[in-house]
Structure 1
Amino acid sequence: MSAYARVDVTPDTPEWEQERRKSIGASEVAAVMGLSRFSTALDVYKHKQGIDSDFDPVLAFIGHQSEPIMEAWVHKFSGVHATLWPGFMARSAEVPILHASFDRVSFDPFTTWQFKTAHAVAGHHWDEGIPTDIRVQVQAEMFVAGTQKAGVVVWIGGREFRLYWEPRDDRFIDEHMIPALGDFWNRVLTGTPPEPANLAEIAEVYPTDPGTVLELPETAFETLERITVLNSDITAQEKERDALKVALSEFVQGAETLTYAGRPVATWKTQKGRASFDKRTFELDHPDLAAAYTNQGAPFKVLRRLKEKS
């Protein structure tokens, strides 16, 4: 019996998107487990419920168009003697709530390949090996494919290529990944959203109920106190930082480049002032245009300590 069932759909089509909603994608597993740098379990949950976050078609275009270049690099420069074939979507036969879309595959033995691009400023995330969220994705792909290792190629800054081999980690898969996917999918089936993972999701999941009062237990009050202390520390550190900048500037004066022991350590340049837009005046002069071009941002919650009455 094959480890997977092949799903014959064309990427980035409505049929492909519908298939993705039926199960958890390998690229979504890190978010489900709270290990993604870019998305959360609630993001994935909403996608399965038919609610999508903003999609950047340019980034998707760059990713797809970069794949032939990375494939050519593997063949010409990686030293790996393998023929890469087009990838495909597959759903796990053992755990049907999990699917994967392989970028490329090779044979003898059957191996899945994942291609990634990274901006030059983000290349450091790959210095210690494959980033955690990508490793989780590749582990999920190996589980679906029934393979023991996977190739991961990253193209950094449009100039540097790297090839990593990721071995299968059955302990991670069996003890952590599969149970987490089962728990998450049960939430999808029962309509129980995951807990919010950041402040933006807090505002979305728990909007303020005007007029309500909640008595805090001691542990929750201690958390509030700690937040207050941290806010005070941040304010004090910012004041200290600004005072130190003033002291240093009195010595530096108009110098642009600062050196220490003969090597450049910093620059101090005058920047052009930031342009500002007089929104209030524009609204008064052109109310219709102002209304047509004003977008309301997502709501957010603000925590403010109240002074005790004497």
Structure 2
Amino acid sequence: MITAPERLATPTGVVIAPPALEREQWLDVRRMGIGGSDVAAVLGMDKHTGPLEVYLDKVGELPNQPRDPALDEAAFWGNVLEPVVADVFAQRTGLRVTDGPGTLAHVDRPWMLANLDRVVTDAGERAPSSLLEIKTRSAFQLDEWREGVPDGPALQTHWYLAVTGYPHAHVAALVGGNRLMVHRAERDEQLVEHLVALVGDFWQHVQDRTPPAVDGSAATAELLAHLYEVEADAVTLADPAEVLPLLDQLAELKGREQQLADERRAVENQLKAIAGTAEIVRCRDEVAFTWKQNGPLSVKRFAAAHPQLAETYVHHVPALDTGRLAADHPATYRAHRARRLIVPTRKGNQ
């Protein structure tokens, strides 16, 4: 796994593994602590990964999950474009950029890990004195990057500052494939202390094999959907003191959700009545709201009104015959069905 001898590569960063490890070796090293890509997830600020998933990964209990092809494609192009972005950053800033030294750990807190994209030798320095974090992002995120480094990359960058001991970092983001946004992040000691405390507490849970509380993120919902091998019709006996308050809370939330939906619909209907035949409503010389006829086609209404014309535009598309699949391969069909949470009406709530 780790073959390189420990050596101090940054003010507080020790090299614990060389670059370009085989994937399995690299995964073993990642499980030795918390890396920069884990921090936002640990803090519940990553839309793709939650704290529970990071915990299961670190203790080696995370099952194989379906991979999102879009995320894999984005990661592929990120890797391909990383050296290009680094070269352009060096050209435009005049700073010397070199490859990262491998996996770093904090000299006093070995569970704090960092894999730097690049290190930077700033003007007037003879040795690397800061780091460069490189991102490739969609054009839809341009406004976020104009204002500075968004939260997720900012947390990752500051974690690297915490590990390395560098006083500042550079962040370069290629946005939309044709806009390079460059920012400098100064080390914030108060933020470093908060990160070390919060992430350190999480790491202690990993050490103690105490999983974090299940949160409400979409990432955790997706994880739970694939976490367990389902036993058909299996029954578990749960503690009423744990389950019943959650069911009461769920019922209350559903009631509030329905009330809000009704209230919202009433307000929207009043606005639609004000618009009448108009598509644009103005107040005080500006557009207040629009109600345009540009939504999805009502297929049933169109087909009923123009049956012959509708027949002209009917076409058949390939579709999976789920009924036949279920009949021919019931076990396989069941294995790929989504799980649904259904709460029956309780006697006390009737």
Does TM, scored on the shorter chain, surpass 0.5? yes
Q: Given the alignment of the two structures, is residue 156 of structure 1 paired with residue 175 of structure 2, yes or no?
A: yes
Output aligned runs, 1:102-113, within 5 Å: 102-107=116-121, 108=125, 109-113=128-132
Which structure would you say has the larger Rg?
Answer: 2
Which stretch of the first structure deviates more once superposed, 43-52 or 110-119? 43-52
Instruction: Determine the structure 2 residue equivalent to 1:22.
Output: 32
Distance across 1 between alignment mates of 2:132 and 2:65: 27
CA distance change for structure 1 residues 141 and 297 in 2, over 3 Å: closer, same or farther?
farther
Distance 1:82 1:284, change over 3 A: closer
Q: In the alignment, residue 162 of structure 1 is paired with which amino acid?
A: M
d(CA) in 1 for partners of 2:209, 2:41:
18
Cα contact 1:228–1:305 (8 A) shared by 2:
no
RMSD: 4.0
Equivalent positions of 1:1-310 (< 5 A) are 2=8, 3-6=12-15, 7-10=17-20, 13-50=23-60, 51=62, 53-55=65-67, 56-77=71-92, 80-87=93-100, 88-107=102-121, 108=125, 109-174=128-193, 176-198=194-216, 201=220, 204=224, 214=240, 223=249, 226-237=252-263, 239-240=265-266, 243=269, 247=273, 250-252=276-278, 258=280, 267-272=292-297, 282-284=322-324, 287-288=327-328, 296-302=336-342, 306=346, 308=348
Shift, 1:307, TM fit: 6.9
Which whole-Å CA distance do the structure 1 matches of 2:275 and 2:317 have between them? 27
Greater Cα offset, 241-250 or 9-18 = 241-250
Q: Structure 2 counterpart of 1:4, which letter?
A: G
Q: Which piece of structure 1 moves more, 122-131 or 65-74?
A: 122-131
- Counting aligned pairs with the same residue, the percent is 21
Question: Residue type of the partner of 1:243?
Answer: N
When the two structures are superposed, what TM-score results if normalisation uses the length of structure 2? Answer: 0.70
CA offset at residue 238 of structure 1? 5.1
Q: Report if aligned partners of 2:146, 2:181 keep a CA contact under 8 Å in 1.
A: no
> Quick check: 1:8–1:89 contact (8 Å CA) kept in 2?
yes
Gaps of at least 5 residues in structure 2 are 1-6, 300-315
Q: What letter corresponds to residue 197 of structure 1 in structure 2?
A: D
SS at match of 2:339: coil
Structure 1 consecutive aligned stretches of length 4 or more whose deviation exceeds 6 Å = 205-209, 216-222, 262-265, 273-279
- Mean alpha-carbon deviation: is it higher for 232-241 or for 133-142? 232-241
Q: Could you tell me how far apart the structure 1 residues matched to 2:156 and 2:53 are?
A: 16
- C-alpha contact 1:43 1:53 (8 A) present in aligned 2: no
Q: Is the 8 A contact 1:283 1:290 kept in 2?
A: no
CA drift of 1:222 comes to 8.3
